[in-house]
Amino acid sequence: MSPKKMPAPVNGPDASIEELRRERERRAKTYRERALKLFPWICGRCSREFEGKRLRELTVHHRDHNHDNNPPDGSNWELLCIYCHDNEHARYVDAEFSSGPTTGGTTEPASTFKPFADLASLLKKKK
């Protein structure tokens, strides 16, 4: 029998990335387990129930979008299925980049260019 080879230790930026990844997984595992103990296994948006192998489709959403804010009572969490969780984050990103009302309370037009503004006069010239 040949001895098992141990992977060589990683140095440099790859080591830092791997360490951050492990820390994120450890943190996620602990708050996910706590959330699953605190809350019923039901999506907070679509009300689908989860159990068994499908329980992995239920994710913990941080209401304030701060993954370091993990209170022991779970007040910053809600359980969402992967689809509703993706939708929630997409809405959050869309809201960041959408143009909403200005300080005066009116919305500015997305574009001021009016391609058909002088169309009537151009058509009259052709006749």
Rounded Cα–Cα distance for residues 10 and 13 (Å): 9
Residue 89 pLDDT: 86
User: Domains of the chain: which residue ranges?
Assistant: 16-97
Q: State whether the Cα torsion 32-33-37-42 is positive or negative.
A: positive
Taking the C-alpha atoms of residue 124 and residue 127, their distance in angstroms, rounded to an integer, is 6
- pLDDT tens readout for residues 23-59: 877 776 788 888 988 999 999 999 999 998 998 999 9
* pTM of the full structure: 0.55
For residue 28, what are the contacts with CB-CB under 8 A and spacing of at least 6?
60
* Structural contact between residues 57 and 45, judged by C-beta atoms closer than 8 angstroms: no
- Residue 86 reports pLDDT greater than 80: yes
CA 113 to chain centre: 34
